[in-house]
Structure 1
Amino acid sequence: MCSHQPTCPAADAVDHEAAAIVSAHPEQGWNLLCNGVVVFEDTGEILPTGQVVAPHRARPLVAAA
């Protein structure tokens, strides 16, 4: 369980990416969050259930002509 105050969002919450980082591995491109979610630098994720979330990067803005 999360010991942070306020507590981190659960892995199945909409804002689960807002949980605190408990183990950072920037040299390998991933972080483990307090709620058990593994977040990759390409914005992909692995949830504690083993479910994979595809990368969801923002699309670049296109200048109007």
Structure 2
Amino acid sequence: MEGSAQPNPTSTPSRLPAALCTHTPKCPTADSPAGDTAQVVARHPEQGWSLLCNAVLFFEDTGELLPDGRGIPPRRPLAAV
């Protein structure tokens, strides 16, 4: 279709709409080093994931899926010796 606007994948916001982040201080952005400390807005423990306020999908194995589609591998703590 000519003239239709196509979404630009590089302009994906790093946070959900501001209406979801109503707490103070605001959640860190998804690409921030502390991005996984954002508030949970949807929890699905039966599926092993939670949606954070900054649009990060956080998995129970500590892996993450960022809003731009990049994945962060799990960061499980090492077992005590």
Q: Which has the larger radius of gyration?
A: 2
Q: Which moved more, 1:2-11 or 1:37-46?
A: 2-11
Partner residue in 2 for 1:25: 44
Higher relative strand content: 1
Query: Partner of 1:3: helix, strand, or coil?
Result: coil
Query: Taking every aligned residue pair, what percent have the same amino acid on both sides?
Result: 52
Unaligned runs of 5+ in 1: none
Partner residue in 2 for 1:7: 26
What's the offset of the Cα at 1:54?
Answer: 0.5
Partner residue in 1 for 2:59: 40
What's the offset of the Cα at 1:3?
Answer: 2.5
Deviation >2 Å, runs of 4+: none
Query: Partner of 1:23: helix, strand, or coil?
Result: strand
Unaligned runs of 5+ in 2: 1-17
Query: Partner of 2:50: helix, strand, or coil?
Result: strand
The structure, 1 or 2, with the larger RCO (C-alpha pairs under 8 Å, 6+ apart) is 2
Per the normalisation by structure 1, the TM-score is 0.90
* Equivalenced residues, count: 62
What is the Cα-based RMSD across aligned positions, in Å?
0.8
Higher relative helix content: 2
